[in-house]
Amino acid sequence: MSGFTDRADAALADPILKIAVERTAGTAEAKRGIAVAAFPDFDAARIRAAAIKDHVIAHLGHYLEKFEANAVAAGAKVHWASTSDEACRIVIDLCKRANAKTVARSKSMLGEEIGLPHALAEAGIGRVETDLAEHIIQLADERPSHIIWPAMHKTREQVSALFKAKHRSPHEEETIAAMAESARRQLRGEMLGADVGISGANFLIADTGAICTVTNEGNAELSLVPPRVHIVTAGIEKIVPSMPHAIHMLRMLARSATGAALTQYTTFYTGPRRPGDRDGPEEMHIVLVDNGRTRMREEGLAEMLRCIRCGACMNHCVVFRQIGGHAYGGTYPGPMGSVLTPVFDGLPKNRDLAHACTLNGKCQEVCPVRIPLPTLLRGWREKSWREGLEPTSMRFGLGVWAWVARRPALYRFGTGLAVRAMRLLGRKGWIGKLPLAGGWTRYRDMPKPAAQTFMAQYQRERRK
């Protein structure tokens, strides 16, 4: 695939994308603002949320063992995967052992991260997405562009056209109700016929071995209840010590994501069906995935493991709002994605992401677990510099500038020259074309500097 700048340019050239992103992210921003203002002391709650996660990350081994023991006691089987390939292999093996022709999948970012849709296709296993937006993405053969609203880059009009082309008995009216009905007709039968359900987890609760999932469509339940076998895939950082901690995190998650007090469906479940239960899977498997997470802890990215995938950082990001999620090129977009993608996909291919940020700090301000995203991005920039990945022109330019800036007398001479040169290019008060700053003057004018630098004027006045 092309690089970040090309993808961003393509996104900027798409007026419909801009409308679609603005509708969803703009609404989310406004609603979060109202929800947070109505919360008694949101900052104290953020501090507590961050502390809960920090504690867990510092004692990850302890809580994972506890979770495993309790999940097993409840009848689940726990599997461990250190890479995405291993995770997919475990899931595919489980599906094959269950003789699965189709799986009902509920949206999970971890599933995207490890490439599960692709792995299922390769293994010849059919996949029905229970999340409406994921269904849209599947029909369009695209990747999610947001972690909460995978199809946020599509307008209702585009979705309607897609359904009309791909559904067996599509809607006739252009209303949301009719479109939803069309999706229901398409999906229901497939969902109920699935042999295996695969879902993610928002929280893993250590002291009970329970899983917590939140959705707005109740679709996690559709992958969890009807199929005979249920597989949960979750990142190891999803753990919380106990139910009260999970409840606190849920309050932060819902408000930060959509501005709602709670998500429509919040489900806790522990183990498979017990004797006497009327429904639920016969077998339950939990696949706990590392995929770089312990490495993050060692490499100065431990704070990123606090992330509860609420999406607030991207909804409030000026860059995301202009280019949407696909431009970031990874599973996770926006500020959190720019920190995470180099972990999964290497820095050399993704050095642009660390730079494609104005360091304005809004993402950190809204993050419910106070992740210092700008600092972490600056950390990637430093690594990229140390490893020689930054362009030579940049290294050379900054080197010369710093060398001069460390010699104040020479620096004053240089700035004096620069001012005179710039003034020659100006007409009236503005410069319309500035060599070496073409990126600036392509879109905006540059004010003409004053005749003398501050330092020169100040020296002259003091001599008088």
Partner 1 sequence: MMTRNVALFVTCLVDVMRPRIGFAAIRALEAAGCDVVVPQGQTCCGQPALNSGDRDHAAALAKQTIKALEPYEAIIVPSGSCAGTIRCHYPEIFEHDAAWLPRAQAVAAKTFEVMAYLDEVCGWKPEGVSVDAKATYHDSCSGLRELGIKAQPRRLLKSIDGLTFAPLAGEETCCGFGGTFCVKYPAISNAIVGEKADAIDATGADLLLAGDLGCLMNMAGKLNRKGSKVRAYHAIELIAGMGDGPAIGEEA
CA distance 32 to 267: 23
Residue with tokens 């429904």: 279
* Residue 381 in contact with partner 1, rule: CB under 8 A: yes
Q: Toward ligand SF4, which CB reaches closer, 108 or 160?
A: 108
Please report how close the Cβ of residue 28 comes to ligand SF4 at its closest, in angstroms: 11
398-437 footprint of partner 1 as x/- string (CB under 8 A): xx-xx--xx-x--x---x--xx--------xxx------x
Q: Toward partner 1, which CB reaches closer, 336 or 373?
A: 373
Residues in binding contact with ligand SF4, number by CB under 6 A: 13
E-assigned strand segments in 184-260:
196-199, 203-205, 210-215, 229-235, 239-240
* Residue 301 in contact with ligand SF4, rule: CB under 6 A: no
- What is the bridge-based pairing of β-strands 203-205 and 126-129? unpaired
Contacted entry of partner 1, ligand SF4, none for residue 218, CB cut-off 5 to 8 Å set by kind: none
CA distance 176 to 132: 12
Phi, psi values for residue 373, rounded to 5° = -55, -45
Helix (H, G, I), strand (E, B) or coil at 409: helix
H-state helical runs in 259-328: 293-298, 312-315, 318-323
* Footprint (CB under 8 A) of partner 1, residues 284-323: 318-319, 322-323
CA distance 210 to 74: 9
Contacted entry of ligand SF4, partner 1, none for residue 421, CB cut-off 5 to 8 Å set by kind: none
Radius of gyration, CA atoms only, the chain: 26
* Residue 144 in contact with ligand SF4, rule: CB under 6 A: no
Q: Toward ligand SF4, which CB reaches closer, 202 or 256?
A: 256
* Footprint (CB under 6 A) of ligand SF4, residues 349-378: 367-369, 371
Phi, psi values for residue 145, rounded to 5° = -115, 0
Q: Toward partner 1, which CB reaches closer, 8 or 305?
A: 8
Identity of residue 164: K
Contacted entry of partner 1, ligand SF4, none for residue 116, CB cut-off 5 to 8 Å set by kind: none
* Residue 55 in contact with partner 1, rule: CB under 8 A: no
H-state helical runs in 38-99: 42-58, 60-73, 84-97
Q: Toward ligand SF4, which CB reaches closer, 311 or 330?
A: 311
Phi, psi values for residue 126, rounded to 5° = -70, 155
- Asked if residue 346 lies in contact with residue 354, where contact means CB atoms within 8 angstroms, the answer is no
Interacting residues toward partner 1 by CB under 8 A: 5, 8-9, 12, 318-319, 322-323, 354-362, 364-365, 375, 378, 380-386, 390, 394-395, 398-399, 401-402, 405-406, 408, 411, 415, 418-419, 428-430, 437-440, 442-455, 457-458
Interacting residues toward ligand SF4 by CB under 6 A: 256, 307-313, 336, 367-369, 371
